[in-house]
A = this chain, B = another copy of it.
Amino acid sequence: MSKVQSILKNSSLSVTASRKRILDIFLSANNALAHQDIEIKCADEYDRVTIYRTLQTFLEKGIIHNIPTTDNAVRYALCNDACISSGHHHDNHVHFRCDVCGKTLCLDEVMIPSVKLPVGYAMKEINMVVSGTCKTCKK
């Protein structure tokens, strides 16, 4: 069974052409993708609405996670295997946004440090996005 197939099966999703394609796009991307990035790659194959719904489904199943942005274009990235199989997220890594190439990526090896909130606040999730120049663009 292919990798995309097993990911879908493990999330008890039916295996359809569009889901396979979109998962493939994520697997072959080395950075996080916005809805638009996906649309550009497969708008001729699949309807825009299908892409919206597929991303929504993947999010709910924990196959992808979303990365906040200040440009009104939320990025999505594949969760790693451990994350997917454990059922609930441990999306505790830092994200990096490169000002030069514009790419957003997961720094899987950089953990988000903990912070102490003021009295009365209850923490559920932390998200950290660092911007600057990435490895490739700095060379």
- Seen from chain A, the residues whose Cβ lies within 8 Å of a Cβ on chain B are 66-74, 94, 96, 99, 107, 109-110, 112-135, 138-139
Known: A128-B128, A129-B127. A118 touches B122 (CB 8 A): no
Chain B residue at smallest Cβ distance from A73: B72
Question: Are the C-beta atoms of A132 and B127 separated by less than 8 Å?
Answer: no
Contacts of A126 in B (CB 8 A): 128-131
Question: Are the C-beta atoms of B117 and A96 separated by less than 8 Å?
Answer: yes
Taking A117-B130, A118-B135, A121-B135 as given, write out 5 further A-B residue pairs in contact, using a Cβ cutoff of 8 Å, ordered by the A residue number.
A68-B127, A94-B117, A109-B118, A117-B132, A123-B131
Q: Complex: how many Å from CA A67 to CA B116?
A: 20
Q: Complex: how many Å from CA A132 to CA B128?
A: 15
Chain B residue at smallest Cβ distance from A111: B115
Q: Complex: how many Å from CA A91 to CA B75?
A: 22
Which of A71, A96, A117 has the most chain B CB atoms inside 10 A of its CB?
A: A117
Contacts of A71 in B (CB 8 A): 74
Q: Complex: how many Å from CA A69 to CA B66?
A: 10
Chain B residue at smallest Cβ distance from A134: B121
